[in-house]
Structure formats: C-alpha cells, structure tokens
Amino acid sequence: MGMSGAASGGGAGGGGRGEYMRIPEDVDAIKEAAKEEGDCPRLLRCRAIRWWAKVAVLAIFLAGGAAAAVVFLGPLVIKKVVVPLIDWQSTTFSRPVIALICFGAIALFPSVLLPSSPFMWIAGMTFGYGYGFLIITTAMSIGMSLPFFIGSAFHSRIHRWLEKWPKKAAFVRLAGEGDWFHQFRAVALLRISPFPYLVFNYASVATNVKYCPYIAGSMAGTIHETFLAIYSGKLVQSLAAATSQGSFLSVDQIIYNGIGFSVAAVSTAAITIYAKKALQKLQAEDELV
C-alpha cells in the first residue's frame, strides 16, 4: 500500500509538474500576442507614413516632368499640332456644332469601345467648367447607359467571358451584391479604380446590378475624371493662346499650371489607390458574410 501510495503520489506530482511546465508556454504566447497587438498601431502608422512619402515623391517627379515638358516640348507641339487644330475647329464649326459633335462622341463612342477623352478635352476647352461640365456629364450618362442595355442581350456570353479572368470578375461581381447602397458604393469604387472604363460598361451586366444604383454610382465615380478633363482642356487652350500670340506663359503661369496639373494628377492617383483598397476591403467583408 505504501509503495502504491508513493507511486500514486509520484504520479500526481509528475502530473502536477507536467501542467506547471505548460504554464510558461501559455504565458509566453499571451505576451507575444499582446506585443503584436501593441505593435499593430505602430505598424499601421509606419505604413501610412511610407504611403504618403511615396505620394510626395510621385508629386515631385510629376511636377518636374510637367515643368520639363511645358518648357522644352510644349512650345513645339503646341505650335505645330495644337494651334492648327484649334484654328481649324474654330473656323470650320460653330459652337453649337462643336457641342453636338462632343455630345454625340461622348455618348456613342463607349458603345463601340472607342475612347471619348479627346472630345471631353475639346468640350472643356470650348465651353469651360459650366456648359462643358453639363455636356460631358449628360453625354456620359448616355454613354454608360447604352452598353448596359445593349449588354443585357448578351448576358450569358459576357458572363462566360468574365470567367476567363476570375480575379477581375470577383471585383466586378461586387456591384451586383447587397442592397441599393451596397451596389451604388461598389459601382462608384469600380469607376474610380483602375478597372477599364469601357469594359465595365458591358461587364456590369453580368453582375445583375440594378440600373439605378449602376448609373448613380457611375456618375459619382466619374466626377473627378470630368473635372480633370476640363482642366486639361483649359490648360491646353491657355498654352495655345499664348503660343499663337508669339509669346509664352510667364514664369508665374508655368509654376501655377504645373502645380495645378501635378495636384490634379496626384489627387487622381490617390483616389484610385484608395478605391482599390476599399474594393479589396469590401470583397473581404463579403467573403466573411
């Protein structure tokens, strides 16, 4: 009995020692987890600093490139190409005809997968931020609606085409999930993101997105592009006017336009990066649900 008790006691003691041996491991794991949680905000701050540093470097390079292009290449290109085109346009067509041509091109070209950006520049150059904005946005609403309705007749074919690119299709399908606001938000982010504008006009049909959130999200997601096109057109017009008069922009005007264009380009890049990250977050949330 004594030996049995001793053996039993030894077993219990051994079992106790075994459990005490596991406690330090648990404590170390808890400490490690706490350390990682503490480092998480610091890591996020470092990533944010690095991201803004990249944006600042990009802005400097863009400003330098824009200044070099304006000073060295700008006068030659404007004098030989842009000024003759503007003179031909102004002498050949009246303002109502130019408005009609720009409206028709922006409204119809996306349906046949042709870019309409040059006509957005012409509209901005000719009509400015007021009428130019109205012409572009109204025409774009038609240009994004026609492929939506045309593509409905080829729903199954577009769906099979998207299956060839599963990663891109996963982002596009976000537009057809959830309620009205979810679809609106997904479409707006897809419009801002690097996803091809002309392709999404047709690809959206395969997502079963409703028309109202589709067109509302599309208009909201392309406002920055509209203002950038108008600004670019006005900038080219001012450069052409100065060149045709035998002079060029003053140093102050060059600095002002260079900074303005760089800010517009960097803002567009930052919005695009944000939209891409927001889409990835939205996709992760949908996968969890």
**Does a structural domain hold residue 256?**
yes
Contact partners, residue 124, CB within 8 Å, separation at least 6:
132, 136, 229, 230, 231, 232, 233, 234
Q: How many domains does the chain have?
A: 1
| Domain limits for position 97 | 85-287
- Which residue in 48, 37, 56 sits closest to 262, CA to CA? 56
Q: Is residue 114 part of a domain?
A: yes
pLDDT value of residue 225: 84
List of long-range contacts for 249-258, beta carbons under 8 Å, 24+ apart: 249/70, 254/67, 254/70, 254/71, 257/70, 258/63, 258/66, 258/67, 258/70
Question: Does 12 map to a domain?
Answer: no
181 is a domain residue:
yes
End-to-end C-alpha distance for the chain, whole angstroms:
62
Q: Is residue 129 part of a domain?
A: yes
Can you tell me the mean pLDDT for 216-223? Answer: 90
Q: Is residue 18 part of a domain?
A: no
In the structure encoding, which two tokens stand for residue 31, read together? 């400490």
pLDDT digit string, tens, across residues 135-190:
999 999 999 999 989 888 777 777 777 777 666 666 677 666 778 888 888 888 88
Q: What is the pLDDT of residue 58?
A: 83
CB atoms within 10 A of CB 110: 23
Asked if the structure places residue 26 within a domain, the reply is no
* CA–CA distances in Å: residue 262 to residues 142, 161, 243: 30, 37, 22
pTM of the model: 0.63
In a domain, 275, yes or no: yes
